[in-house]
Amino acid sequence: MLRRTLAVVWLSPLSLWLGGCASYTDDVREMTNAFKAGDYNSALTTFEKSEIKTQDRNRLLYYLEKGTIEDRLSERKESRTLWMKADKLADDLYTTSISKAAASFLYNDSATPYGGEDYEKVAIHTMLAHSFLSDNQLQDARVEAAKINSKLNEINGFYKDNKNKYRDDAYARYLSGLIWESSGEPDSAIVDYRAALKVYESDYSSTFNVSAPRDLVRGLYRLYLVRNRKDEARILADSYKELNLTKVDPNAASVVVVHEVGVINEKRAEGFVIPIGSEITRFSFPVIRKQGVAFRQTGVRLNDGLFEPGELAQNFNAIAYESLEDRRLRMIAKSMARLILKSQMTQRAEKELGALGLIAGSIYGAVTETADTRGWVTLPAAIYVTRVFVKPGEYSIEISNNGRTSDIKKVHLKPGQLVLMRDAAAGKLREAPERPNSGQQRFQSSSP
């Protein structure tokens, strides 16, 4: 009787696990494919029919993914509501119940409610800032941009050891500076531009392979001239002689477009075997490819002139990779404790059930020791920023995102004015028309 009971205890959860072992990315594959193709209505319909909607352990991902899809459908109030719910839920999930924590020891982290990666919790505020930017709510956008680094500081404060390399967000400071400048606050813009440049020149360049955008330097130099800060302008010009900053016109107007490009690389499981006592056990953890952001033509064209390419300002792929590498060391202690517990359970099963118990316990341990590869799959892979310095006047702006025309706008620019736009590739994208000089070039008639 005892042996039969133990067999049920072991084999029932094992069969349940084997029957439901499809990964999260497999579950949302159809939605992801539609999303990548720009068919956001189909993506939403497919996602709403999936089991993700009703799974408590994936509630955070439901808010994040649906928020992104609604945003692409220009339902920005709905998307902001969902992302704000996600932000609150991620905070609440720091306090996980004992029963749910126990499930992660018996199975793996996939059995618990997904609390979000550190970079995802921060990216919520990036997306919220962009959403407010779409509606020209600059004050709200700036508040969200400021929350990016506040959230980073809060997260890193939880770690005594193995803190994240992602500790200061250069793009957040760059975006905040653009918003200040667009709002007519040059001194505040200078503060954020200088802070952004410092981070780009240090952590972002060495760790995330993102160099300081040239137009960030040009924008800072122009504001130094506008505010008559000649000494600082001279020092900056000497530091970036290759940009010929002395040709920058302080009265130039400019159009700035922030582009959300692609979708982030998917997580995958990576593991190796380790000895625990007399047994060989598999250890698994999530990883993500760091490789650069492959993109086609992304930028703007003014008045049918030459194409002005965007510059890489944020690489979420690299940030995600480094964040998971930092988390790996913090994961080891918990994972080892779980592996030891499973080993002890296998030994007990062998003692009570003999060879059957050993086989069942070994299979159970191997199958359930799988990395949690859930993640926000509709998060952009990268953010590019295009800034075009031009003479005041009327302009038609054709915005391209990864080789496809995403929007066409008309603007009237006054002397010194900065018009800030967001390109989220919303709606059904169109292939960009072939034109002469359509390669990755500077807009020569307006470059400083």
Mean pLDDT of 185-190: 98
Q: Which amino acid is at 433?
A: P
Q: Give the separation between CA 151 and CA 134, rounded to whole angstroms.
A: 22
Kindly tell me if the per-residue pLDDT of 325 is higher than 60: yes
- Measured over the CA atoms of residue 226, residue 229, residue 230 and residue 233, the dihedral's sign is negative
**For range 297-314, the mean pLDDT:** 93
Please check the confidence at residue 264 and state whether its pLDDT lies above 80.
yes
Distance CA(4)–CA(94), nearest Å, equals 39
Is it the case that residue 320 has pLDDT exceeding 80?
Answer: yes
pLDDT at 338: 56
Per-residue model confidence (pLDDT) at position 440: 38
Q: What is the mean pLDDT of residues 366-392?
A: 87
Does residue 448 surpass a pLDDT of 70?
no
What's the pLDDT at 281?
Answer: 62
Neighbours of 189 (CB within 10 A): 24
Question: CA dihedral defined by 108, 119, 82, 95, rounded to 10 degrees?
Answer: 50
pLDDT score of 337: 55
138 vs 272 pLDDT, higher one:
138
Are 59 and 112 spatial neighbours (Cβ–Cβ below 8 Å)? no
| More confident call, 158 vs 48 | 48
Q: How confident is the model at residue 352 (pLDDT cuts 50, 70, 90)?
A: low
Q: Helix, strand or coil for residue 256?
A: strand
CA–CA gap between residue 318 and residue 321 (Å, rounded): 5
Query: Where is pLDDT greater, at 112 or 194?
Result: 194
Local structure of residue 245 (DSSP, 8 states): G
**Residue reference for tokens 């390419």:** 309
Confidence of residue 305 (pLDDT cuts 50, 70, 90): confident
pLDDT digits (tens, 9 = 90+) for 358-374: 444 444 445 455 788 99
pTM as predicted: 0.83
Contact 266, 320 (CB under 8 A): no
Q: What is the mean pLDDT of residues 54-79?
A: 96
Cβ pair 361, 349 in contact under 8 A: yes
Mean pLDDT, rounded, for 388-406? 93
Which DSSP string do the residues of 335-399 spell out, in sequence order? Answer: HHHHHHHHHHHHHHHHHHHTHHHHHHHHHHHHHH--------TTS-SEEEEEEEEE-SEEEEEEE
Contact 266, 321 (CB under 8 A): no
> What are the structural domains, with CATH classification, of the chain?
2-431 (1.25.40.10)
- Give the length of the chain: 448
Query: How does DSSP classify residue 58?
Result: G
Q: Is the pLDDT of residue 21 over 60?
A: no
Q: How confident is the model at residue 163 (pLDDT cuts 50, 70, 90)?
A: confident
pLDDT class for 411, splitting at 50, 70, 90? Answer: very high
pLDDT of residue 143 exceeding 80, the answer is yes
Report whether pLDDT(27) > 80. yes
When the pLDDT of each residue in the chain is averaged and rounded to a whole number, the result is 83
Whether pLDDT at 319 is above 50? yes
**Residue predicted with more confidence, 435 or 169:** 169
- Residue 294 is predicted with a pLDDT of 63
pLDDT at 350 over 90: no
Above 60 in pLDDT, residue 172?
A: yes
Residue 336 is predicted with a pLDDT of 57
Q: What is the pLDDT of residue 177?
A: 98
Amino acid at 327: R
Residue 98 binned pLDDT confidence (cut-offs 50, 70, 90): very low
pLDDT of residue 10: 47
- Checking if the pLDDT of 8 tops 60, the result is no
How large is the average pLDDT for residues 259-270? 92
Contact assessment for residue 177 and residue 189, using Cβ atoms and an 8 Å cutoff: yes
Q: Is the per-residue pLDDT at 248 higher than 50?
A: yes
> Average pLDDT, stretch 25-52?
94
> In this predicted structure, which of 154-168, 201-215, 313-327 has the lowest mean pLDDT?
154-168
| Residue 377 near residue 28 (C-beta atoms within 8 A) | yes
- Least Cα distance to 151 among 15, 312, 323 occurs for 323
pLDDT grade, residue 23 (50/70/90)? confident
pLDDT at 253 exceeding the cut of 50: yes
More confident: 41 or 9: 41
